Structure 1
Amino acid sequence: MGSERRKNAAVATLVTATLAAGVIAMVPRGPEGPRPAPGPAARARAAAAVGAPAALPELNALIAERERWLRGRPGDEESWAVLGTAYAERGARFADWDALPRAERALRRSLELVPAADGNTEALLGLAALAGARQDFRAARDHARQALKQRPRRWTVHRALIDAYSGLGDYKAVAASLEKLTSLYAGPQARGVAARVYRDKGWREDAAATAYDAVAAAEGIAERAAALHRFGDLDWERGEPAEAIESYDLALRLDPGHRPALASRARALAALGRTDEALRDYRTVLERGPSAEYALEAGELYESLGLGEEAGAQYAAALAAARRATAAGVNQELPLGRYEADHGDPEEAVRRLSAEWERGRRGMETADALGWALFRAGRAKEALPYAKRATKEGLRSPLFSYHRGEIERALGLYGPARRDIGQALRINPYFSPLLAPAARAALTALGEPPAGGPRKLTGREGAVRGFGTGSSSGASSASSSASSSGASSGAGGSGQSGAGSSGSGAGAGR
């Protein structure tokens, strides 16, 4: 009920803001009538000035305008920086990987005209955006830090740092940068960044309230669509797919080219059993631009429906998309590692993801993916520290909880396994078309905790054998069985490996 009231309020705010904007536009500005509406390139420039996203047609118009301008004025370093940043945004948001080399050439040209050391902050921020688009978070951090020395009170510098620190897993630095950002700027873009940081901390109510504020304050069409998509994702992550779809629908009415909203709607439609519509949305989003992540999601939906041939085609498309992105300099080790862990060679997944970890990419996503890859490769004991690290920061991810629970189950830690797998389903019972059913099967196999409760509460030190240790021979056997089964089965099958009975070596659940 509370969620529905929030959604109705958000819809009302959006409609009111849209109508108000239309009324204001019709008010005469002088004896000659209203001023002409700004063109698409001008709207894109205005969005960039406040750190907001631009719709694809506006972004393309800005790129074309700056290219025409630079043909006659090749010495304009600021326009080269604007052009490069626009190309980087197009590449990142629309999977237009061919735009990224163009972005780099434009930004390097800007720096040739005015070096970074001489105060070319715009080019430095453009390079940070380009590095972020390529998932090179160390380079993004270094460029943003250099920009910070020149413009410490520019809020977009701190946003670039937050993006880079998040990718590297430096969450203390994320918190410090957010505090600085919000002290400098309180507009809708800052609220959107804050909502994402709060979500990653597990502060769900704060994230939802801040995301709602961002919807209410958003101005441009693309900015409103992005805010609504963020709001819908928070509903989805709470296990409320119908409410999420309402926000995604609104976002797509405003910006039909918003690919993340389209993919998110496909995910939520699948959760409601509307699989034909979900597959339609996945097809549309993949026609608009190759994406390993979205192709993997589509493949797993097909697999959950028993359509193996169609699933295989999507997995092949995911690999092709990853190869194309890699050729443009985009780091695809995380989606490739996830693919190999669940649908290919788990040892290859371990190799890729371990290398990422050693290169300093130590965020929650990498920790979860590496832990799961190790488990799938039959190395559950090595996997557990990574699974714990993925869940310790606070993000309420059902995927992370499920992965951790399966690793614990393999090690004979049945109480923690029962807790974490159960938590995955409580957070979002629809979190994956393959893994949510596997989680339910695993929880059933674990059964209820044994009678008597934990030793430390009852005082019967010997009453519950093997409580909380996982060191018995039964635990070792479970680990071996689960690991070998997990390494040889698909993603859905991994959820049913190494199931312990409710009476063998089990600890107390929650």
Structure 2
Amino acid sequence: MRTPLRTVAVVAVATVALLGAGAVFGLRSPAPASQPSAAPATAPDRLAATIARAQNRLRELPRDHETWAALGLAYIEQARVTADPSLYPKAEGALKRSLSVRPDENATALVGLGALANARHEFAAARGFATDALRANPYDADAYGVLADAQTQLGDAAAATTAIQRMLDLRPGLAGYARASYDLEQRGEVASAMELMRRALDAAADPADIAFCRNQLGDLAWSTGDLAAASSEYAAGVAASPSYLALLRGRARVAAAWGDLAAAVTDAGTVASRTPTPDTLMEYAALLRLAGRTDEATRQLTLADAAHRLFVANGGQDDLTGALLALARGDAAAAVPLAAAEWKRRPFAEVADVLGWSLHALGHDAQALPHLRRAVSASPRNASYAYHLAMTLLSLGDHDGALASLRQVRALNPYFSPADGPTAARALSALEARP
């Protein structure tokens, strides 16, 4: 699963709309490290120093609203880098203090609260904060970034694309390029997404920025089944910035696809130990299970559940992860209501897919089908979504539909999952062998 942002459904808009702005062709400075946006990892020691400086200044100038806002943004970034949601209340306190000191025309604090709401998966609230920030400052590129992230998750693809374009018009940089590339990818424009990230890479100088671009390019190559290109990009990223852990997640996927489970488990374990989020822990558990280490896999799922509960305890809303954890434990009955609750909050491609797959696992294939079709329609180059649709069609006895979807999986990325990829290949062979 790609992040910075978890997936997005985007309707077709002419590619030139995102690539045509003149400023896009030259990479300027990316968003400040404290901005909670699609940006490279920030060094923890640099963040700690930033926070310490802000705290010292506020002891002397407790009504400095700008420093309060900067402190809140730094806490959000520190939470992202360290995978520690217990920092969210600190961020909220600092940002609200900034607003209490200056309640009017304080766009920075509103952007920070919007970014915090996005981090907590409170996307409707994030949209509201971003809208308020733009009323205070219509030229705030970061506010458009927050707005784009929120609109993406809320299923308003056209509004998300518009916000990304406005962000690029105001301040082209790595945060905007990453969003634009992702936007293009989700509606099937993978070649254009790669082109945009290569332009960003050509202009990147900082090792962390280079690693970020390489990781994005590696993820794009992997999504098309080009394992050699993906491996090359991840290796180049690690050479530029060995501490950028997202590269190890990608490298683990490639290793698993090549059948090197030992290397995949090692890399996934490193990522899970350093950034123990529910998704990294679940990825690690899945690889451990494939390697036959079921007891260790169960322990990782227990840790993932604890990480999820910590996220919720600090203001997060995430029934999607709850549904994925239930599916990983084989409890489809628990997954369905969680995924359904998430779907009511955000009609988004990944949520549609998880809800449909949960319904299929529970044996409710007819109910699953509309959700799975919606996921595939919204994100047409996602091999996992196509696989889920294929298996549900097969369960319903629609052999022609299943065959078409499985051929789509093979064309998109036959390595999409070390567990499900072989199942897809066997099902396709069986269908193609039918008289």
Same fold (TM over 0.5): yes
Tell me which residue corresponds to 2:130.
144
Q: Distance in 2 between matches of 1:242 and 1:45?
A: 31
Kindly indicate whether residue 184 of structure 2 is the aligned counterpart of residue 198 of structure 1.
Answer: yes
Greater length-normalized contact order (CA 8 Å, ≥ 6 residues apart): 2
Tell me which residue corresponds to 1:391.
376
- Structure 1 residues 247 and 59: alpha-carbon distance in aligned structure 2, compared to 1, 3 A threshold: farther
TM-score, with length taken from structure 2:
0.88
- Structure 1 residues 395 and 87: alpha-carbon distance in aligned structure 2, compared to 1, 3 A threshold: farther
Q: Which residue identity is paired with 1:108?
A: K
Q: Which residue identity is paired with 2:406?
A: I
| Alignment equivalent of 1:319, drawn from 305, 325, 337 | 305
Q: Contact 1:241–1:268 at 8 Å: present in 2 too?
A: yes
Q: Which residue identity is paired with 2:184?
A: Y
Written as runs of structure 1 = structure 2, the 5 A alignment for 1:152-167 is: 152-167=138-153
Question: More deviation in 367-376 or 425-434?
Answer: 425-434
Kindly indicate whether residue 413 of structure 2 is the aligned counterpart of residue 413 of structure 1.
Answer: no
Q: Distance in 2 between matches of 1:109 and 1:217?
A: 38
Q: Contact 2:30–2:174 at 8 Å: present in 1 too?
A: no
| Alignment equivalent of 2:91, drawn from 97, 103, 110 | 103
Tell me which residue corresponds to 1:207.
193
Tell me which residue corresponds to 2:19.
none
Unaligned runs of 5+ in 2: 1-28
CA deviation profile, 1:380-438 (whole Å, cap 9, x unmatched): 00101100110112441111000011111111111111111221232112111111111
Describe the SS at the equivalent of 1:98: helix
Kindly indicate whether residue 319 of structure 2 is the aligned counterpart of residue 333 of structure 1.
Answer: yes
CA deviation profile, 1:39-77 (whole Å, cap 9, x unmatched): xxxx99954589754333222221121112212221111
Q: Contact 2:44–2:81 at 8 Å: present in 1 too?
A: no
Q: Which residue identity is paired with 1:83?
A: L
| Alignment equivalent of 1:80, drawn from 68, 72, 75 | 68
Q: Please report how far the alpha carbon of residue 141 of structure 1 lies from its aligned counterpart in structure 2 after TM superposition.
A: 1.0
| Alignment equivalent of 2:291, drawn from 301, 305, 330 | 305
Q: Contact 2:356–2:371 at 8 Å: present in 1 too?
A: yes
CA deviation profile, 1:293-340 (whole Å, cap 9, x unmatched): 111111111222233222222222221221222222223321221221
Q: Which residue identity is paired with 2:54?
A: R
Kindly indicate whether residue 43 of structure 2 is the aligned counterpart of residue 55 of structure 1.
Answer: yes
Describe the SS at the equivalent of 1:323: helix
Q: Distance in 2 between matches of 1:99 and 1:44?
A: 24
Q: Contact 2:79–2:88 at 8 Å: present in 1 too?
A: yes
Structure exhibiting the larger radius of gyration computed from Cα positions: 1
Q: Distance in 1 between matches of 2:146 and 2:261?
A: 37
Tell me which residue corresponds to 1:423.
408
CA deviation profile, 1:8-57 (whole Å, cap 9, x unmatched): xxxxxxxxxxxxxxxxxxxxxxxxxxxxxxxxxxx999545897543332
Tell me which residue corresponds to 2:117.
131
Kindly indicate whether residue 306 of structure 2 is the aligned counterpart of residue 286 of structure 1.
Answer: no
Q: Distance in 1 between matches of 2:419 and 2:31?
A: 43
Q: Distance in 2 between matches of 1:403 and 1:310?
A: 27
Q: Distance in 2 between matches of 1:89 and 1:208?
A: 26
| Alignment equivalent of 1:229, drawn from 207, 211, 215 | 215
Q: Please report how far the alpha carbon of residue 245 of structure 1 lies from its aligned counterpart in structure 2 after TM superposition.
A: 2.5
Q: Which residue identity is paired with 1:143?
A: F
Alpha-carbon RMSD: 2.1
TM-score, with length taken from structure 1:
0.75
Tell me which residue corresponds to 1:481.
none
Kindly indicate whether residue 236 of structure 2 is the aligned counterpart of residue 250 of structure 1.
Answer: yes
Q: Distance in 1 between matches of 2:81 and 2:120?
A: 12
Q: Which residue identity is paired with 2:418?
A: P
- Structure 1 residues 439 and 46: alpha-carbon distance in aligned structure 2, compared to 1, 3 A threshold: closer
Question: More deviation in 228-237 or 257-266?
Answer: 257-266
Q: Distance in 2 between matches of 1:389 and 1:49?
A: 33
Q: Contact 2:277–2:307 at 8 Å: present in 1 too?
A: yes
Tell me which residue corresponds to 2:53.
65
How many residues in Structure 1 have an aligned counterpart in Structure 2? 405
Question: More deviation in 222-231 or 253-262?
Answer: 253-262
Q: Which residue identity is paired with 1:94?
A: T
Q: Distance in 2 between matches of 1:169 and 1:134?
A: 17
| Alignment equivalent of 1:89, drawn from 77, 85, 91 | 77
Identity of aligned residues (%): 35
CA deviation profile, 1:232-261 (whole Å, cap 9, x unmatched): 111111112232222223333433332322
Tell me which residue corresponds to 1:365.
350
Kindly indicate whether residue 393 of structure 2 is the aligned counterpart of residue 404 of structure 1.
Answer: no
| Alignment equivalent of 1:177, drawn from 156, 163, 167 | 163
Unaligned runs of 5+ in 1: 1-42, 449-501, 504-510
- Structure 1 residues 251 and 402: alpha-carbon distance in aligned structure 2, compared to 1, 3 A threshold: same
Tell me which residue corresponds to 1:478.
none
Q: Which residue identity is paired with 2:173?
A: G
CA deviation profile, 1:123-165 (whole Å, cap 9, x unmatched): 0111111111112211111111111112222222211111111
